[in-house]
Amino acid sequence: MSTSRTHPPRPSIVNHGMKRVPISALPFPPPSHSLIHALTPDPHTPTPAAWHAIRAERPSLQRRARLLAPPTHFSYVAPCPVPFPFRIEYLEEDKEGEEEEDAEAAGKRQVAAVERWLVEREALREIPTASAAGELKREDLGHGNDGLKKYVAEKRDEERVLIGLAETGWRDCLPHLDVGDAFELLGEPSLSVPSGQGEDGDARPTPGTAGEEAVAARQELIDILSGNSILMNGEGEDVRGQWAPWSLRYSGHQFGTWAGQLGDGRAISILATPRPDDPETSYELQLKGAGRTPFSRMADGLAVLRSSIREFLCSEAMYALGIPTTRSLSLISLPKLPVERERIESACVLTRVAPSFIRIGSFEALNPPAQLSFLGGGQQQADLDALRILGEWVARRVLKLPDVNWRGDQDVDGPGDAWGTKLVLEVARRNAKMVAGWQAYGFMHGVINTDNVSILGLTIDYGPYAFMDVFDPWHICNHSDQEGRYMYKFQPGMIIYALRALLSALSPLIGAENELGGKAVSPGWADSASKEQVQEWSKRGTELVKDEMERIAEEVCAVEYGRLMHNRLGLRRTDKDDESKLARPLLSLMQDYSLDFHGTFRRLCFFKPSVASSDEGLKAFVDSVLKLTSEPNKLDTVRAQSDWSDWLRKYAARIESERNHWDGEETDVDAARERDAKGANPRFVLRQWVLEEVIKKVETDAESGKRVLAKVLQMACKPHEPWGAEDQEDDSGLDVEAKEERRYCSIGERRFLGFQCSCSS
């Protein structure tokens, strides 16, 4: 018996009859919905055309860490994954005459050598796109895409290996993207493929098997998403028709301390494209680990295979659990590109997808806390009009706030309606709902700095995260978090801390809107305001919103957590005392007896109230739960039996009290409840030991490892399935694959319980 899965058929046509197109032909959002056309770029590169010209002369501008001008929201920057510090190769003429030259002249000569070295590695040579080389007609190009051009570098052509492609992320966010024969290239997902063995059974296409267009679409996808090639358009007088990749500027509080300008130090957004069935919603494609940006500070802008695999898998696992998150698209290894961390590792580029990657720190950057200084960084002065521009665009195009009359709209005279308070409260609702999902499913983020908190309430920036094994509310998943600031128990409070930072940034604008009688502020609204006036607006804005913001965050979090816990317990009716009588006591039992958090919930799916009527049946069920302990030698079995029996009797009575809520479902209420409970409690959990094993397999042998990675991704995307023949008591008769599925669903070795990760990526 086997429970292995295969990829479903992939139709060539998506909704609305739109044909799938190569990545170079994806449609653009209209300028009003496009970040690079709505917000303010670095004045050194004000347009894609100007940026392209500078790259050919002074490419160091986009690689050199620097403070950007106060009005800036983003900077154009091209992917360029190379080791850092740069290994500059000086020519003989660069060294000639050094003894006779003064220091200034020698310095200029060295700078010129650096610029020349970087130019050779900038993607500046145009080559045909897959859409141009194929049979794609002009009318097949997406709206707004007037023909992106593809560029490669003269001296940068590193080996790039497709390691993973997330079918769920692709299907949900980019159904109009043609990935060619990429899935076939990756091979059949399998946990049992021996190391050193690639795809068998001739399932991988041999040369000539896949059509030329499919191969071209797949290769272009790999070239672009690895950072090897770039897509841009700098032609035309109208900048709204131009396009180039970019990185965001933001600041933030890190571990409670103001850190000044941070920004996308290794993230570069390369495209944004609307969903075919929802033109108002666009998705950004962002490369993580594709080289230095102006925000990299002393870092190399790269990511390692280890951390990239972790984020690739967890983004899709979180989505499958119903927790708001950024999504994964691809994982491309650069095996010949060394990266220095605690050890020398190989580089990898992750492509992640989201409607927006704007964070709370994006607002903090434009109105930073007053009178704060720090070592090792800098921070620009506030720019309150840049704050207005960002906030207005986020409120309207990202959050899509309802019931707001916007300045400039038809039939709207004057400045339009106030939006500042609504923005803050909506961000509070979204992030409260997100963190409730974290708590209900035992997810620990590890680094909830304000620059890692999404405006959209998406889980973002997967670093030293972990899912709970043995339940411990005091668990710290990040070994760099010495004080336990971001431990599991404190996560909701840390989200409120981040929301306060957002309110602090927007408070003068909110105060000014209140002074205007509920109208929006206009361009230049604070240009002539005194320092005292801004402080008064800030005080007023905080007073108006703080209490309501925190109340909403706490209430939304509590309601959503309660809803999720009801689902996990297989309950339909909501009683006010369910948390105090059932949920909290259950968690205490898990903690007291060192029980696996997810395993216990999954085991309770099989509990039937009739079991509680029999001492023998109750004892047998409790025994099955206690097998999930990590401390069998320390277990007080008699006490555990008594405590668990008491709780299960209350649970049974609670289930029985709502049988009428299941009327009309089916005659077997117990079966219906079991089905629903299984749908809320994962059989497979992305545990630390699983991640470590997958990483090791891919690092050891990419050919077999990527098939293991694909299978683990498949299990993470369908976590509630009975992997490993769950309903079968023993493993006799199971094939090798099903046995491996069963092992991957276990709690794993004791040495990995409570495993802590580092922030290094």
Instruction: Report pLDDT digits (tens) over 41-80.
Output: 999 999 999 999 999 999 999 999 999 999 999 999 999 9
Residue 224 CA, chain-centre distance (Å), reads 20
Neighbour count for residue 58 (Cβ, 10 Å): 15
Of residues 5 and 454, which shows the higher confidence score? 454
Chain segment 603-615, per-residue pLDDT in tens: 999 999 999 999 9
DSSP symbols for 289-341: SB---TT-TTS-SB-BHHHHHHHHHHHHHHHHTT--B-EEEEEEEEEEEEEES
Using pLDDT thresholds of 50, 70 and 90, give the confidence band for residue 10. Answer: very low
| Whole-number pLDDT of residue 705 | 97
In this structure, the answer to whether residues 307 and 396 fall within a common structural domain is no
628 and 537 together in one domain: no
pLDDT digits (tens, 9 = 90+) for 639-681: 999 999 999 999 999 999 999 888 765 678 999 999 999 999 9
Nearest Cα to 742, choosing from 752, 734, 754?
734
HEC string of 37-62?
A: HHCCECCCCCCHHHHHHHHCCCHHHH
Predicted pLDDT of residue 141: 52
Residue 197 confidence (pLDDT)? 64
Closest among 356, 350, 286 to 324, alpha carbons compared: 356
Residues 549 and 643 in one domain: no
What pLDDT, in 10s, does the model give residues 99-144? 666 778 878 888 899 999 999 999 999 999 998 765 555 455 555 5
329 phi, psi to nearest 5 deg: -120, -60
175 shares its domain with 244: yes
pLDDT band for 203, please (50, 70, 90 cuts): very low
Q: Extract the tokens encoding 603.
A: 């085991």
Strand 229-232 to 161-165 pairing: unpaired
Cβ-based neighbours of 405, under 8 Å, separated by 6 or more: 412, 416, 417
Q: Does residue 639 belong to any structural domain of this protein? A: yes
What backbone torsions phi and psi does residue 414 show, to the nearest 5 degrees? 80, -155
Confidence of residue 17 (pLDDT cuts 50, 70, 90): low
If you average pLDDT over every residue of the chain, what do you get?
91
195 lies in some domain: yes
Interhelix angle for 384-393 vs 491-515, to 10°? 110
| SS3 of residue 697 by DSSP | helix
Encoded tokens for 450? 């304000």
Considering the domain architecture, whether residues 557 and 592 belong to the same structural domain is answered as no
Residues 259 and 408 in one domain: no
Lowest mean pLDDT among 144-153, 203-212, 609-618, 741-750: 203-212
Rg over alpha carbons for the chain, rounded to the nearest Å, is: 28
Q: Which of 318, 163, 148 is nearest to 225 (CA)?
A: 163
SS3 label, residue 283: strand
Q: Are residues 220 and 268 in the same domain?
A: yes
Helices within 569-636 (DSSP H only): 578, 584-592, 597-604, 615-626
Task: Name the nearest CA neighbour of 760 among 344, 400, 173.
Answer: 344
**CA terminus-to-terminus distance, the chain:** 40
Residue 13, phi then psi, degrees to nearest 5: -120, 135
Residues 173 and 83 in one domain: yes
Of 626, 649, 678, which residue is a domain's last?
678
CA dist., res. 36 & res. 48, Å (int): 10
Residues contacting residue 339 through CB under 8 Å, at least 6 positions apart = 83, 300, 302, 303, 304, 345, 346, 347
Domain boundary among 618, 650, 678: 678
59 and 143 in a common domain = yes
Residue 168: pLDDT band (50, 70, 90) is: very high
Same domain, 203 and 328: yes
Task: Please choose, from the candidates 208, 189, 207, the residue with its C-alpha nearest in 3D space to the C-alpha of residue 199.
Answer: 189
Is the bond into 245 cis (omega within 30 degrees of 0)? Answer: no
Q: CA angle at residue 278 from 277 to 279, to 5 degrees?
A: 115
pLDDT at 5: 39
- Backbone phi, psi, residue 421, to 5°: -65, -45
- For 624, the 3-state DSSP assignment is helix
Residues 692 and 753: beta-carbon distance below 8 Å: no
Compare 263 and 11 and report the one with higher pLDDT. 263
Q: Which of 634, 658, 678 is the last residue of a domain?
A: 678
Pick from 426, 442, 430, 429: nearest CA to 321: 442
Cα–Cα distance, 550 to 498 (Å, whole number): 11
The pLDDT-based confidence of 750 (bands split at 50, 70, 90) is confident
Report the pLDDT value the prediction gives residue 71, as an integer from 0 to 100.
Answer: 98
375 domain-assigned: no
Residue 367 within any structural domain of the chain: no
| Structural domain contains residue 413 | yes
Containing structural domain, residue 728: 688-752
Give the Cα separation of 462 and 464 in Å (integer).
7
- pTM beyond 0.85, yes or no: yes
CB 518 within 8 A of CB 417: yes
Supply the pLDDT for residue 376: 52
371 falls within a domain: no
Q: Do residues 129 and 22 make contact, with C-beta atoms less than 8 angstroms apart? A: yes
Q: What are 377's two structure tokens? A: 């960084």
Instruction: State yes or no: pLDDT of 460 exceeds 50.
Output: yes
Count of domains forming the chain:
4
Per-residue model confidence (pLDDT) at position 80: 97
Q: So which residues are the catalytic ones? A: 451
Average pLDDT over every residue of 371-384: 75
CA-nearest of 333, 547, 552 to 427 is 552
Lowest mean pLDDT among 138-142, 305-309, 434-438: 138-142
586 and 551, same domain (yes or no): no
> What is the predicted pLDDT for the residue at 12?
39
State residue 201's pLDDT score.
Answer: 44
527 and 483 belong to one structural domain: yes
CA 615, CA 642: separation in Å to the nearest integer? 11
Other residues' Cβ atoms within 10 Å of the Cβ of residue 517:
7
On the question of pLDDT at 13 being above 50, the answer is no
Give the containing element (helix H, strand E) for 166. Answer: none
Alpha carbons 181 and 145: distance in angstroms, whole number: 24
Query: 748, 294 in Cβ contact below 8 A?
Result: no
Flag whether pLDDT at 3 surpasses 70: no
Measured CA to CA, the distance from residue 591 to residue 486 in angstroms comes to 19
Closest CA to 449 of 248, 250, 252: 252
* 395 against 374, higher pLDDT: 395
Beta bridge partners of 47: none
Section 207-223 average pLDDT: 87
**How many angstroms separate the most distant Cα atoms in the chain?**
98
The percent of residues above 90 in pLDDT, for the chain, comes to 83
Q: If you ran DSSP here, which 8-state letter would residue 396 be given?
A: I
Residue 729 has pLDDT above 90, yes or no: no
Query: Is residue 195 scored above 80 in pLDDT?
Result: no
Kindly tell me if the per-residue pLDDT of 1 is higher than 50.
no
Q: Give domain status of residue 121, yes or no.
A: yes
Name the phi and psi angles at 359, rounded to 5: -120, 170
Q: Is residue 205 very low, low, confident or very high in pLDDT (cuts 50, 70, 90)?
A: very low
Note the Cα 309 to chain centre separation in Å: 12
Phi/psi at 422 (nearest 5 deg)?
-60, -40
Q: Let me know: does 521 contact 415? Beta carbons within 8 Å.
A: yes
The CB density around residue 496, as the number of other CB atoms within 10 Å, is 18
Using CA atoms, how far apart are residues 424 and 499, in angstroms rounded to an integer?
A: 8
Q: What residue type is assigned to position 305 of the chain?
A: L
- 6 inside domain: no
For residue 254 the two structure tokens come to 């890190």
